[in-house]
Amino acid sequence: MTVTPLASRANLSGFRWFFLVATIAIVVALPVLSIFWLALFPEENIWPHLLDTVLLHYVSATLILAFGVAALTLVAGVGSAWLVSMCRFPGRVFFEWALLLPFAVPAYVIAYVYTDLLEYAGPVQKALRGWFGWQTARDYWFPEIRSMGGAIAMLSLVFYPYVYMLARAAFLEQCGSIRAASRSLGCSPWQSFLRVSLPMARPAIAVGLSLVLMETLNDFGTVEFFAVRTLSVGIYDTWLSRGNLGGAAQIACSTLLFVILLIALERIGRARQRHFVQAPIANRDRYRLGGWRSLAAVLFCGFLLMGGFVVPLLVLAGYALGNFSSYWSDDFIEIARNSLLLSAGAALLSVLLGLLLAYGKRLQPRRPVQFLVGFSKLGYALPGAVMAIGVLIPLAAFDNAVDALLREHFGISVGLLLSGSVFAIIFAYTVRFLAVSTGAIETSLEKVTPSMDRAARALGRNRWQTLWAVHLPLVRAGLLTGGLVVFVDCMKELPATLLLRPFGFDTLATYVYQFAADEMLERSALGALLIVLVGLIPVILLSRAIGWRRGDSGAELMESEAPAI
């Protein structure tokens, strides 16, 4: 069989795209591979010592924290999603988008705010002592905010929107006739929810819950401030306090076991997902709540909104505006500029790589390419502290190799070129959040009919020209959405920045952490407020995506964040 020149060029182009996708996937997978390599071959094997001393404590604390956050976010997310989707009560239209606002608040910021409010010297306990005449802490009992229970509560207040968004989308997409049939068979609204709506929404809820647990594993600022010794804190202590990078990598591998388990459970749940015929939900189809039920719905949704967004925003705004002239300095402007430039650079790079991966998957929809694209998204599942170790290992190896080569042949030493530099932070951000940009772009590309590709090829356009002239204008929304979400995630990222930043280099996240950890919330309030205000950008995008007919199209982005292999 003779191969025509056109077919030969097509095969060559297909191979080039496969090679490009494989190269990107391998580069972004280097941190994961490096962690396993260092864990298996450390300079000093302290694994037996870790196992005998602190590892089991780290694991047990992580499990307790994860189960507690999962339980609270499940109740808060599913409960609020059911209320605003299937019920009628005062303020429902407001709450359906306002319940997303806690997305904008980093977990460590809300921990600092509530510690300042609820600790012994805070305004709440001072007011209680004044009202009741108590003199010392022995005269009354008050829950300790800096504890495991406090960490669970703080993380749940800002992570429940993951479950809320996906659960609400699932409820709105369910066929109304199925619920009507259950009611005709004698089910009460509560029984219809438990027997019909909840099982149908279970796959989407599983995706949201997996994202919550991954963010819980990633958290460092909250658990470190509350003295909860999780695996994330163990990595930080073992690396910096004990000076043992190999031991930190071994703890990181333990964290990865949790991640792999979460991904497997989420894959199993999503594999059972089915799409039902959508029936637009009219207002008359919702259950009308009256009396105490209506009041309870308002209080429940209002508590989540007040606790997760309004109170932190008011406290931070009060501190920041009250001392604005003192804190707005040249140093603060430079720190804010560092955050903006780092986040913008990582967002641009992740969008570029995400576009190449998504387009390569479209051109070569074969199992090897799908696997490579899915594998490249694994970075999102890595906690920031784990990512920092994985990034440092290959960059340090590269720096040492270049330095040794130049010493041998030219007698000069260049020291560290990449590790401990701004490049290391951008690389870590890109690898960690590449799944977000790739998922958003894939969602947009899936809506472009393949006939447009064939038409462009028939007009003589090659694949690069088709991408530039046809696909880019059509997927601009996905590019913008993915880039903005990555930008905001990078602004909030704390553990990777703490571990990889150059000496004397700060971002808004590290600035807030340093002062708040020293009980100086007033000094950190301006930086924390700026992070919250920037975080409102994706919340506004998700809020605008809420629709009546298609459910929450914004949930597509959140679901795409879950790593797919």
Range with top average pLDDT, 46-60, 103-117, 228-242: 103-117
Q: What is the pLDDT of residue 93?
A: 86
The answer to whether 286 and 87 have CB atoms below 8 angstroms apart is yes
* Residue 166 structure tokens: 């996906």
- 494-513 average pLDDT score: 88
Q: Which of 230-244, 257-271, 465-479, 514-528 has the lowest mean pLDDT?
A: 257-271
**47-64 b/e (C-beta count within 10 Å ≥ 16 → b):** beebeeebbeebbebbeb
Q: What is the pLDDT of residue 1?
A: 45
**388-411 b/e (C-beta count within 10 Å ≥ 16 → b):** bbbbbbbbbeebeebbeeeeeeee
Give Cα separations from 38 to 27, 88, 221, 380, 467 (angstroms).
17, 56, 26, 21, 40
| pLDDT of residue 9 exceeding 60 | no
Element (H, E) at 2: none
* Selection from 171, 173, 167 nearest residue 279 by Cα: 173
For the chain, the structural domain boundaries read 35-561
| pLDDT of residue 548 exceeding 50 | no
Range with top average pLDDT, 49-53, 143-147, 175-179: 143-147
* Selection from 33, 65, 407, 462 nearest residue 231 by Cα: 65
Instruction: Measure the CA–CA gap between 284 and 129, rounded to whole angstroms.
Output: 50
Between vectors from CA 317 to CA 91 and to CA 77, what angle results, nearest 5°?
A: 40
Sign of CA dihedral 38, 39, 41, 47: positive
Residue 480 pLDDT class (50, 70, 90 cuts): confident
State pLDDT tens for residues 280-324. 555 556 778 778 888 999 999 999 999 999 999 999 998 888 877
Question: In the 3-class helix/strand/coil scheme, how is 87-104 assigned residue by residue?
Answer: EECCCHHHHHHHCCHHHH
Q: What is the pLDDT of residue 550?
A: 45
Measured in degrees and rounded to the nearest 5, phi and psi for residue 413 equal: -125, 130
Instruction: Measure the CA–CA gap between 230 and 58, rounded to whole angstroms.
Output: 5
Measured in degrees and rounded to the nearest 5, phi and psi for residue 288 equal: -90, 120
Q: What is the pLDDT of residue 551?
A: 42
Question: In the 3-class helix/strand/coil scheme, how is 349-392 assigned residue by residue?
Answer: HHHHHHHHHHHHHHHCCCHHHHHHHHHHHHHHHCCHHHHHHHHH
User: Under DSSP, is residue 162 helix (H, G, I), strand (E, B) or coil?
Assistant: helix
Q: What is the pLDDT of residue 549?
A: 41
Looking at domain 35-561, its CATH architecture is Orthogonal Bundle (1.10)
Q: What is the pLDDT of residue 542?
A: 67
User: Under DSSP, is residue 185 helix (H, G, I), strand (E, B) or coil?
Assistant: coil
Sequence-separated (6 or more) residues with CB below 8 Å from residue 546 = 96, 97, 552, 554
State pLDDT tens for residues 62-75. 999 999 999 999 99
Q: What is the pLDDT of residue 429?
A: 93
Sequence-separated (6 or more) residues with CB below 8 Å from residue 501 = 425, 507, 510
Give Cα separations from 292 to 91, 289, 295, 297, 299 (angstroms).
15, 8, 5, 9, 10
State pLDDT tens for residues 337-351. 999 999 999 999 999
The answer to whether 270 and 563 have CB atoms below 8 angstroms apart is no
| pLDDT of residue 188 exceeding 70 | no
- 491-501 average pLDDT score: 88
Q: What is the pLDDT of residue 67?
A: 93
| pLDDT of residue 414 exceeding 80 | no
Q: Please give the residue that has the higher pLDDT: either 149 or 37.
A: 149
User: Under DSSP, is residue 546 helix (H, G, I), strand (E, B) or coil?
Assistant: strand
DSSP per-residue string spanning 5-60:
HHHHHHHHHHHHHHHHHHHHHHHHHHHHHHHHHHHHS-SS--HHHHHHTTHHHHHH
Q: Which of 218-227, 469-478, 516-525, 536-545 has the lowest mean pLDDT?
A: 536-545
Q: What is the pLDDT of residue 485?
A: 82
| pLDDT of residue 445 exceeding 70 | yes
Q: What is the DSSP letter of 565?
A: -
State pLDDT tens for residues 110-135. 999 999 899 888 889 889 888 988 88
| Number of neighbouring beta carbons within 10 Å of residue 149 | 15
CB-side neighbour CA atoms (13 Å) of 526: 16
Element (H, E) at 322: helix 311-322
| pLDDT of residue 32 exceeding 60 | yes
Q: What is the DSSP letter of 287?
A: E
40-43, Cβ contacts within 8 angstroms, sequence gap of 24 or more: 42/244, 42/245, 42/246, 42/247, 42/249, 42/250, 43/245, 43/246
333-336, Cβ contacts within 8 angstroms, sequence gap of 24 or more: 335/506, 335/507, 335/508, 335/511, 335/527, 336/508, 336/527, 336/530
Range with top average pLDDT, 31-40, 280-289, 302-311, 480-489: 302-311
User: Under DSSP, is residue 550 helix (H, G, I), strand (E, B) or coil?
Assistant: coil
The answer to whether 31 and 390 have CB atoms below 8 angstroms apart is yes
Burial of 215 (0-12, 13-18, 19+ CB in 10 A): middle
Between vectors from CA 302 to CA 296 and to CA 308, what angle results, nearest 5°?
A: 140
Instruction: Measure the CA–CA gap between 211 and 205, rounded to whole angstroms.
Output: 10
Q: What is the pTM of this model?
A: 0.82
* Percent of the chain clearing pLDDT 90 (strictly above): 18
| pLDDT of residue 519 exceeding 80 | no
Residue 552 pLDDT class (50, 70, 90 cuts): very low
Element (H, E) at 288: strand 287-288
Between vectors from CA 53 to CA 52 and to CA 55, what angle results, nearest 5°?
A: 90
Instruction: Measure the CA–CA gap between 422 and 438, rounded to whole angstroms.
Output: 23
Q: What is the mean pLDDT of the chain?
A: 81
- 492-508 average pLDDT score: 88
